[in-house]
A and B are shown apart, each in its own frame.
Chain A
């Protein structure tokens, strides 16, 4: 038993050493090589010890039991119940209160991190409609995020749009983009759709990058700061309004603070995110949401029931795009500036990672994943280099072990009378 475990460890060690050897052991330095023989050996040892422990574990009863809990679960863990949320209302109210009060105790840096986290929640919710509910893999989601952000920035520059008009404008524009791009594309099946959306995402970024005269190219465009009933959150008015401390100062006695604009954006974002969560949760139990999930389960059966798969997919696609567009408007408003580097494929992959790690289709999971994935890297600065590597590994591992997410999936139960 011990010997077999050792054998298996060596068996896996040889390819591991060959894989790690040249890439981690021979480091390019110009046209020269620096030899670092420790790294590959260390990595190989990690793999071998892991394999050894697993082999050893699977030969004892207790070990088997532990390994069993890590084994692959193909079918989802589903429960049917009449309650709709997994959290009691009191807990939700508590979380909201804490979230609303948080910005007043934080510096600008962390405030920005929180704003970003909320934007990712919004993007995660949007992509979750497309990938989690409708089962359409969209690898170019960042395109709609870009449309929202640029819609606000360029809309201000050319049409004089303000922040409040930009929200519906950005949302509508992104939804239109989604519909126009989606219509021809949504007829094709899963894998092709993924690649085509990826292509679209890149096309939009490249156009933003190269159309100097309209978008400012790599230099980007500036976006105005948000206002609230004519109040501006700067020390001096720049957009023809009044600075907020001149209005509110006499009434409630507050002075100008540099974090005011961030607090303002954060609070608005918090409200929008809460509304969006309600919206998405409600959607799931409406005919359209049911049709999305049915489409994910079996497209052919859907067609046999008179459901036009193209328009139903299209509704999911443009609904997701709309949410992404709103996220983009807030991104532009909080940064005060947009350029194409914020909209690379990596960003799409990150949003996808949020949806996958949160568990496809789970709203609570997506919110948790979005917050964790933006805040953890800030806390663990030392590991920031390894951030993406870990995301990638986590995505692979999720697909291998828990393709339907870590949380229990709940489905609504219906009360039916026994007799007519």
Chain B
């Protein structure tokens, strides 16, 4: 589904990622773990297009076969070879002008953020409607004159919002402001909102951070539901090891910007390198719970 290879990222003189490589199988739950500052969020930002990786490739399998190059979409610098190849030049120009992280989302990669980013002064429903922006009838004239296509498109969007609110048990909050919801609900709303973009792979950045054990359990069920009922591939960063070991099919361990191990949860738990990198981290994960 998603293949990351030789991914490197530099910020000025700091090498944040070095030859990161892993792949995410279709319809799996893959966890990205590692000590603080290992570069997990940087990997996320590269995959979802918020950072342009210094080198390496990120490929996303396309539904109709083949794959998308998620770095090219962000707009790459012009090369001298483009002068001879007008199509390549046109592509590059197009992505320079219109490319960016939103294009990555449109290819089917959705994400949430470590510190929840909701439209706080809009209602919960509106948050979900904004997420469906690409699928709606955006014609201003159609909207102005209440054209039929516009009304049906709005209706469909509301129905979809209702479905996802129902799935995430947020229906009672539908007409409240997103910013005034309890923290646990905000976390769930953010995932529901990401799901409204119809992603094939969803990247969750520490979804259990700040949740109490009950809420974490619920989240566990929800993530499984996404995979089992909606066929979505899940990539997640998480510090809560019990959650990670419980739901992941596949775990990738990062340390100092490099992948030090990957495999199924049992393998990882018994991998000496990982234990070494994590020495003392047991107490830390205890704090976050």
Asked if B122 contacts A303 (CB within 8 A), the reply is no
Task: Report the bound CA distance from A300 to B130 in whole Å.
Answer: 13
What residues make up the interface of A, taking CB atoms closer than 8 Å to B?
75-76, 78, 80, 279, 282-283, 286-288, 290-291, 293-294, 297-298, 300-311, 409, 411-414, 416-418, 420
Enumerate chain B residues within 8 angstroms of A279, measured Cβ to Cβ.
144
Please name the residue on chain A nearest to B199 by beta carbon: A306
- B224 shortest CB reach to chain A, Å: 21
Evaluate contact between A417 and B140: CB separation under 8 angstroms.
no
Q: How far is the CB of B117 from chain A (nearest CB, A)?
A: 4
Known contacts A291-B133, A294-B119; decide if A301 and B113 are in contact (CB<8 Å). Answer: yes
**Provided the pairs A301-B119, A414-B174 are in contact, do residues A294 and B50 lie with their beta carbons within 8 angstroms?**
no
How many angstroms between the C-alpha atoms of A297 and B134 in the bound complex?
A: 18
Q: Which 5 A-B pairs have the closest CB atoms?
A: A306-B105, A297-B119, A286-B143, A301-B117, A413-B175
A414 near B102 (CB under 8 angstroms)?
no
- Pull 7 A–B residue pairs with CB atoms less than 8 Å apart, ordered by A: A288-B138, A290-B129, A297-B122, A302-B102, A303-B102, A305-B194, A308-B102
Interface status of B61 (Cβ within 8 A of chain A): no
Tell me how far the C-beta of A50 lies from the nearest C-beta in chain B, rounded to whole angstroms: 33
Contacts beyond the supplied A78-B177, A310-B98: 20 A-B pairs with Cβ under 8 Å: A287-B133, A287-B136, A287-B138, A293-B122, A294-B130, A298-B119, A303-B100, A304-B113, A305-B105, A305-B131, A305-B133, A305-B197, A306-B105, A306-B106, A306-B131, A308-B102, A414-B125, A416-B162, A416-B165, A417-B162
CA distance A298 to B131 in the complex (A): 13
Identity of the chain B residue whose Cβ is nearest the Cβ of A304 in the assembled complex: B111
In the assembled complex, which residues on chain B have CB atoms less than 8 Å from the CB atom of A288? 138, 140, 143
A305 touches B130 (CB 8 A): yes
B residues 161-202 near A (Cβ < 8 Å) are: 161-163, 165-166, 171, 174-177, 179, 193-194, 196-197
Interface residue B121 (Cβ < 8 Å from any Cβ of A)? yes
- List residues of chain A with CB within 8 A of the CB of B129: 287, 290
Chain B residues whose C-beta falls within 8 Å of the C-beta of A416 in the assembled complex: 125, 158, 161-162, 165, 171, 174
Say whether A304 contacts B120, CB under 8 Å.
no
Which residues of chain B are near A412, meaning CB under 8 Å? 123, 126
Confirm or deny: B48 has a beta carbon within 8 angstroms of a beta carbon on chain A.
Answer: yes
CB-nearest residue of chain B to A305: B131
Q: Does A306 lie within 8 Å of B140, measured CB to CB?
A: no
> Shortest CB–CB separation between residue A186 and chain B, in angstroms?
12
Whole-angstrom CA separation of A61 from B194 in the bound complex: 49
B53 at the interface (CB under 8 A from A): no
Bound Cα distance A406, B163 (Å): 37
Contact A287 B113, beta carbon cutoff 8 Å: no
Q: Does B110 sit at the interface, judged by CB under 8 A?
A: yes
Q: In the bound complex, how far is the Cα of B206 from the Cα of A111, in angstroms?
A: 62
Of chain B, the residue at the smallest CB distance from A299 is B117
Which residues from B are CB-within-8-Å of A309? 100, 102
Question: Does B234 interact with chain A (Cβ within 8 Å)?
Answer: no
Interface residues of B in 57-114 (CB under 8 A from A): 98, 100-103, 105-106, 110-111, 113
Contact with A along B249-260 (1 / 0, CB 8 A): 000000000000
State the Cβ distance, A316 to closest chain B Cβ, in Å.
12
Q: Of A302, A308, A414, which one neighbours B130 at CB under 8 angstroms?
A: A302
CB nearest to A285 among chain B residues: B143
B248 in the interface (beta carbon within 8 A): no
> At the interface, yes or no: B118 with Cβ under 8 Å from chain A?
yes
Rounded to whole Å, the gap between the CB of A61 and the closest CB of chain B is 30
Interface centre among B101, B106, B118, B179 (most CB of A within 10 A): B101
**Is B5's CB within 8 Å of the partner chain A?**
no
Q: A78-B121, A288-B140, A293-B122 are in contact. Are A308 and B98 (CB under 8 A)?
A: yes
- Taking the complex as formed, is B54 at the interface, i.e. its CB lies under 8 A from any CB of chain A? no
Question: Is B55's CB within 8 Å of the partner chain A?
Answer: no
Task: Report B192 CB to chain A, min CB distance, Å.
Answer: 12
Note all chain A residues with C-beta closer than 8 A to B101: 303-304
Q: Are B102 and A282 in contact (CB under 8 A)?
A: no
Chain A: minimal CB distance from B258 (Å): 26
| Chain A residues in 8 Å Cβ range of B125 | 413-414, 416
Q: Pick from A282, A283, A286, A307: contact of B134, CB below 8 A.
A: A307
Q: Complex: how many Å from CA A21 to CA B174? A: 58
Q: Report B-chain residues with C-beta under 8 Å of the C-beta of A303.
A: 50, 100-102, 105
Q: Please give, as numbers and ranges, the residues of chain A lying within 8 Å of B140 by CB-CB distance.
A: 283, 286, 288
Contact of B177 among A304, A308, A411 (CB under 8 A): A411
Structural contact, B133 and A307, CB atoms closer than 8 A: yes
